[in-house]
Amino acid sequence: MKLGKKGKFFALAGMILLLVVTGYLNVYVNNKSNQTIQTSTITVSNFFETYRSDRTTMREQTVMYLDSVINSELSSAETIAQAQESKMEIVNSIETELKLESVIKALGFEDVVVSSSNENYNIILKSTTLNDEEVAKVLEVVTQQTGTEASNVIIIPVE
């Protein structure tokens, strides 16, 4: 059975979606089981370390998958181009998140992780509470650095 270009595209898109969902569920289930077993030992610093580690692992798995699509002799030129574009989007997200994390830390926060998708940004700060001035500073950094609207930014303090 031969697939046309559209069929290959949808097959690739479906595989990427399944990979991302599987990775997310894997991380979610592992975190749930770890939280159940080690509830008394979880600390805020572990949250930030675990989040970064899980994010890196998921991205590495996705990039490996995309590399296999790019290097496959069975992939069409269009599929390869789409995989390369997806890979570049991941690289751009990594750069943006790292830049935002560095600048926000420079504002005086002990730790921060940034998660982005499309034009939406989740900023998780190590802080018991945030005052209006701190929220405004973080929001200003994110909107200036990314060009996104303030309504697309969620700031979450974590104790």
> For each of the chain's 159 residues, which pLDDT tens digit applies?
455 666 666 666 666 766 676 666 677 676 665 444 443 344 566 889 999 999 999 999 999 999 999 999 998 999 999 999 999 999 999 999 999 999 999 999 999 999 998 889 999 999 888 999 999 999 999 999 999 999 999 999 987
Q: Judge residue 123's burial from the number of C-beta atoms within 10 Å of its C-beta, 0-12 exposed, 13-18 middle, 19 or more buried.
A: buried
- pLDDT value at residue 21: 66
- pLDDT value at residue 10: 65
CA pair distance 37, 54, nearest whole angstrom: 18
Report which residue type is found at 50. T
- pLDDT value at residue 117: 86
CA pair distance 136, 140, nearest whole angstrom: 6
- pLDDT value at residue 38: 42
Q: Cβ of 97: how many Cβ atoms within 10 Å?
A: 19
C-beta separation of 5 from 78 below 8 A: yes
CA pair distance 29, 54, nearest whole angstrom: 12
The encoded tokens of residue 132 equal 């209006």
- pLDDT value at residue 133: 94
Model-level pTM?
Answer: 0.69
